[in-house]
Amino acid sequence: MQANLYALVAVAVVALITAVIGGFGIRFARTTSDVLVAARTVNPRWNAAAISGEYLSAASFLGIAGLVLKEGADALWYPVGFTAGFLALLLFVAAPLRRSGAYSLPDFAELRLGSAEVRRVATGLVVVIGWFYLVPQLQAAGLTLSVLTGWANWIGACLIALIVITNVVFGGMRSITFMQAFQYWLKLTALAVPVFVLLLTQASQYTNARATAGAGAPPAFTENTTVRVDTDVVLQVTEPTQLTAVGGVDGAVDVDGTVYWGVGEHEVSEGTALTFPAKSAVPVVTGAPAHNDDWLRPLYGGAGDHPLFETYSLMLATFLGTMALPHVLVRFYTNSDGRAARISTLFVLGLLGVFYVFPTVSGLLARLYVPQLLVTGRTDAAVLLLPGAVLDSWPARLLGGLVVAGAFAAFLSTSSGLMVGVAGVLSTDVLHGRAKDFRLAALLAGLVPMAMAVTIPPIDIARAVGLAFAVAASSFCPLLVLGIWWRNLTDAGAVAGLIIGGGVSVAAVFGTLLGLAPGGWVGSVLGHPAAITVPLTFLTMVVVSKVTPKRVPSDVARVLARLHAPERLGLTPGPNPNRTGTVRRPADQDAVNRAGRHRR
Amino acid sequence: MAAAPAGSAADGAADDAACGGSRRRWWPPWRRWRGREPLSIETLALGRRIAADLTEGLAGPRARSAARGIRRVLAADAVGLAALSGSMVWAGHPLPEAAQLIEDVMRTESVAVLPPFIAEPLQVNDELVGVLVVTSVDGTVSQPAVREVALWVAYALERGRLESSADIAAQAELRALRAEISPHFVYNALTVIASFVRSDPDRARDLMLDFADYTRYSLARHGDYTTVADEFRAIEAYLALQRAVLGERLRVQIRVAPEVLAVAVPYLVLQPLVENAIRHGIEPRPEPGLVQVHGEAVGTECVISVEDDGVGMDPELAVTLLSGHGDPNCVGLANVDRRLRSVYGPYYGLMVETAQAAGTRVIVRVPRFQPGVVAS
Amino acid sequence: MPPMSLSPPPKRVRVVLAERKRARRVVRTLAEVEEQTDVGEMLVRTHMRTQLGMSLLLALIVVAVLGALPLAFAYVPKLAEISVLGVRLPWLLLGFAVYPFMLGVGWVYVRLAERNEQSFIKLVEE
């Protein structure tokens, strides 16, 4: 790829900024001779940007566009779900959770139910969810690096894992609000600017493009394109195609030269290079819609056999899973009170809404300009290749570098947030928190997903992340919702629900990740377990709690009052809340003194 | 656990039943006297559990499980524990005829036997606190056995009372430790305010309001915990006053990461540290000094450090200060250390980094979440 | 700063209290002396019910609107072919229109929740 130099520079810059800010802590203060007071409370807007910045992982940055390219309208449920999850969080969880004072999910379990067993099970699930979420990030990093440099996928995965582990271990696990906020704006810019530029430059070809995309035609190559196939694939060919192939095609092992393909399915083995002439139809990997007509239609895109069930299952997983993700909840702690938590979540909704427009449009553009990814089926690189495919020379390289920087920001920020979350939970609960153990915990938190990322065959990033959401939705969402709103939840019910619901969903995810999913109903359920496991967990928790009424914690009334009563209650008059701190410069000292700090 | 008097077969049988059916041979009798057979550890464990259940009193939440344990020990049909307040818990099938018996015992404060009931008074420190009623339809439970159990219950209740009064005493001590304002500082602050009254009345007014804030925060009776943000606000008032007193000799730099502003900490953990830094680090020297306060989140903890570049101190002196054996005027550090450790556990005490002429740095480490710690 | 002596300032020594007396955790039993009266508990229950009702209502609206879409697209295939402003309807709805919708619902919730809380505070403070 020609964008090498710019891209590598961009990556280096992003990594450097991350390391500097992460490693040295905040440097917002200047040494003056005056009292310099940092912000009293975090502006909800800043925190919202930080939450969004950490939340937008490789799945949002690369995965959605890739999935849109492959599956069309069905993939749109992913960004909708990722955003709607925050709406569910706002409606049911935001303010009460902040008021509880809990920092992480096991903390909430402990304070609400007063039981060490619940805490232990919750810790285990947090670790598992964190690892499930980390694996696609690392695989995406591997993909990006291999697109950039041609190295094998596992190199990139290991490299990013090691960078993040090092950052977390030596940076002392500082999760800096301002840095994550900066990441959001970086990611937004990295995706929005190329989209705008591409749209503007291609505006003249708009009607042409529309025609191609709209008609029943399959996607077509705009120019002679060579595609290397990395794994065995089966392609659907919709028009008779003439192409050049070097490698193994349709069972013949040593093909070198022109091949004629009729309509139907054709096998291509690993390591083959296929060259297609311009304007020929793109053969699409089986399971994805081959015609643009189907691609534009919802419910035709998915690889499963029961699209309605899968769509609803996905909706359930993403709507209910966000509130249960380990790296989302810990950011809520930074809000100053329940009201600020709500306002912060509202801003997150807005920020995410603005962001998610761009991967969608990128996916659309990719269908037109980068259709060769459909041949290999690994469409997650769509956003990375788009600028190079549409523009040439330095604008392509510049935009390409920008996109790569955004992608790296995505992996690094989310991975470090997740790793910090998992390591924190491990060190407090498993390794019995002493300072050294943070490092050991961080090592463990990072090496296991690294091993998983290298050994598990990659699937679409967005889908893999959707699986993590399904586990979260099946385990912690019922715990949070029932814990916050239902008086009679007992620790026995919570443990039963977490183990059963969490266990079943984790098993389903493992089944899918290891490729054990057959077709039919079983495959659909394994790939999208939420529609079954979420109600299962709710039911289990309710039933078991009702059966063990004596185990309702004795301080339930007090805890619930604390969760729901608005903050102004019960406060004895403290320092005057109207006082605001100001940064004072030496020259203004007298003026400030005269004006007085006490504006009442 | 009192052993049944030797030689009584019925007691031996009761012992067997109490030991959960473990086979304790009573024949030949000299084997028992030689002490070869160990007494049942299960009985001991059961006794310990009963005592633990009774720590919160006869009307506590676990009184019923204590009654169940007693029932098992005696192998009775039913066991009831009545408290003076009138609350009554039963293990087994309660018989209403026992109520009259209980009243009699409460009145007479002596044992009453009315088959199938045996009712013993429970006396702690010669004071009646309740009644133990044992129902045994077939008369297998003897009155001496019930008496032993009643003594055991009284012993457990007494211990529970001692624990709770120790708790109360510790709480009171901590509360008392909180409200410490240095008279030296008050004197200096008021003097400085007085000096501004004529020359710069606005500044005097500001300083007086700062002083009011400072004293209110330090002395007001409120809940036990506050937020880091509020602590920093209080430090600010204090520092404004100190800057007025010390003028150019004091430079302050405060850097707080926003993530820790919402963490709940006990009241007045930071202010004594800042006071210490200024009093021992800055004031003794004529040259200007810098006090830095940093707060940031590290993993699941909040770390706040107060550093000064003043005279420092001998590390040995720091040890004595922390353990509270030092200068009675400088109890701030020991106070904060004890409060932190009593709330968060032994690993969350203060850390002091110092050496002669190298300045001092005091580090407070606090977990972001601790059950029970909620800022009011 | 004092003039630098010839030797660099001595390194600091870290001191932590050696005797780690395991002080008892007095926190749980006596720390929070909040009195929960019956009236207070009733008020909190009512408040919770109101808030929950509101949240459920809004959630139901969102679920109904969003949940109806797959069904609509499955059983009314014509919908998928309508084009508005050159963009197919499903893409317009799912890719663009749904975000302002969710933001609007969120905004409504925040307003309603805060109003609820204000009235709760007034109720309690009188």
pLDDT tens, residue by residue, C60-101: 999 999 999 888 888 887 877 777 777 788 888 888 899 999
Give the C-alpha separation, A546 to B78, whole Å. Answer: 29
Cα dihedral: A175, A181, A185, A190 (round 10): 10
- For residue C5, being part of any structural domain is answered with no
Q: Is the pLDDT of residue A121 over 70?
A: yes
- For residue C9, being part of any structural domain is answered with no
8-state DSSP, A72:
G
- For residue C10, being part of any structural domain is answered with no
Q: Is the pLDDT of residue B228 over 80?
A: yes
- For residue C125, being part of any structural domain is answered with yes
What are the C-alpha distances in Å from A209 to residues A70, A199, A372?
A: 18, 11, 16
* Mutate which: C24, C27, C35, vs B, most B CBs within 10 A: C27
| Backbone Cα Rg of chain B | 31
8-state DSSP, B226:
E
Question: Domain locations in chain A?
Answer: 2-200+340-599, 218-290
Q: What is the reported pLDDT for B16?
A: 42
Contacts of C118 in chain A (CB under 8 A): 566
Q: Do A335 and B262 touch (CB under 8 A)?
A: yes
Q: For chain B, give the mean pLDDT.
A: 80
Question: Residue range A171-197: average pLDDT?
Answer: 80
pLDDT digits (tens, 9 = 90+) for B243-266: 888 888 888 888 877 778 888 888
Question: Residue range B301-320: average pLDDT?
Answer: 84
Q: Could you tell me which of A176, A194, A543 has the C-alpha nearest to residue A402?
A: A194
Q: Do A176 and B374 touch (CB under 8 A)?
A: no
Q: What is the reported pLDDT for A174?
A: 56
More confident residue, C86 or B147: B147
Q: What is the reported pLDDT for B230?
A: 82
pLDDT digits (tens, 9 = 90+) for B116-140: 888 889 888 888 888 888 888 887 8
Q: Do A575 and B233 touch (CB under 8 A)?
A: yes
* CATH code at A2-200+340-599: 1.20.1730.10
Closest chain A residue to C112 measured between Cα atoms?
Answer: A91
- pLDDT above 70: percentage of residues in chain A: 83
Most confident of A135-139, B94-98, B218-222: A135-139
Q: Is the pLDDT of residue A584 over 50?
A: no
Lowest mean pLDDT among A128-142, A191-205, A352-366: A191-205
Q: What is the reported pLDDT for A204?
A: 63
What are the C-alpha distances in Å from C123 to residues A514, C44, C52, C112, C119?
A: 57, 11, 18, 16, 6
Owner of token pair 């200007």 = B288
Q: Do A76 and C90 touch (CB under 8 A)?
A: yes
Give the C-alpha separation, A158 to A156, whole Å. Answer: 5
Q: What is the reported pLDDT for A474?
A: 94
Contacts of A176 in chain B (CB under 8 A): 257, 259
Structural domain harbouring C73: 52-126
Question: Domain locations in chain B?
Answer: 35-163, 180-367
Closest chain C residue to B167 measured between Cα atoms?
Answer: C26
**Tokens for C21?**
């007396």
Number of domains in chain C: 1
Confidence band of B287 (pLDDT split at 50, 70, 90): confident
Q: Is the pLDDT of residue C115 over 50?
A: yes
Q: What is the reported pLDDT for A590?
A: 39
Q: What is the reported pLDDT for A39?
A: 42
8-state DSSP, B328:
G
pTM of the entire predicted model? 0.79
Q: What is the reported pLDDT for A35?
A: 40
User: Does ipTM exceed 0.90?
Assistant: no
**Tokens for A11?**
């990556």
| A223 within 8 A of A279, measured Cβ to Cβ | no
- For residue C27, being part of any structural domain is answered with no
**Tokens for A4?**
């090498």
Question: From start to end of A238-365, where are the E strands?
Answer: 241-249, 252-261, 264-268, 273-276, 284-285
What's the CA angle centered on B192, arms B190 and B197, to 5 degrees? Answer: 90
* C88–chain B nearest CA distance, Å: 44
* CATH code at B35-163: 3.30.450.40
What are the C-alpha distances in Å from A304 to residues A290, A518, A526, A528, B14?
A: 15, 10, 11, 10, 69
**Tokens for B369?**
């979440």
Lowest mean pLDDT among A55-59, B75-79, B213-217: B213-217
Closest chain B residue to A174 measured between Cα atoms?
Answer: B298
Q: Is the pLDDT of residue C23 over 90?
A: no
Q: What is the reported pLDDT for C75?
A: 84
C87-88 and C13-16 as β-strands: parallel, antiparallel, unpaired?
unpaired
Q: Is the pLDDT of residue A503 over 60?
A: yes
Contacts of C1 in chain B (CB under 8 A): 287, 309
Q: What is the reported pLDDT for A301?
A: 62
Q: What is the reported pLDDT for A593?
A: 37
What would you measure as the largest C-alpha separation in chain C, in angstroms?
88
Lowest mean pLDDT among A163-172, A429-438, B67-76: A429-438
- For residue C58, being part of any structural domain is answered with yes
Q: What is the reported pLDDT for A265?
A: 82
Q: Is the pLDDT of residue B2 over 80?
A: no
Most confident of A112-126, B206-220, B224-238, B287-301: A112-126
CATH topology for B180-367 is Heat Shock Protein 90 (3.30.565)
3-state DSSP percent of chain C in helix, strand and coil, to 5: 65, 5, 25
Q: Is the pLDDT of residue A587 over 70?
A: no
Q: For chain A, give the mean pLDDT.
A: 80
* Mutate which: C35, C87, C94, vs A, most A CBs within 10 A: C94
Q: Is the pLDDT of residue B35 over 60?
A: no
Question: How big is the A-C interface in CB pairs under 8 Å?
Answer: 129
Contacts of A417 in chain B (CB under 8 A): none
HEC secondary structure over A457-523? CCCCHHHHHHHHHHHHHHHHHHHHHHHHHCCCCCHHHHHHHHHHHHHHHHHHHHHHHCCCCCCHHHH
Q: Is the pLDDT of residue A520 over 60?
A: yes
| B270 within 8 A of B226, measured Cβ to Cβ | no
- pLDDT above 90: percentage of residues in chain B: 3
Lowest mean pLDDT among A31-45, A175-189, A253-267, A292-306: A31-45
Q: Is the pLDDT of residue C6 over 60?
A: no
What are the C-alpha distances in Å from C48 to residues A93, A471, A519, C43?
A: 13, 28, 45, 9
Give the C-alpha separation, B18 to B21, whole Å. Answer: 7
Give the C-alpha separation, B352 to B277, whole Å. Answer: 11
Q: What is the reported pLDDT for A498?
A: 95
Question: Residue range C17-41: average pLDDT?
Answer: 51
**Chain C contact for A91, CB < 8 A?**
yes
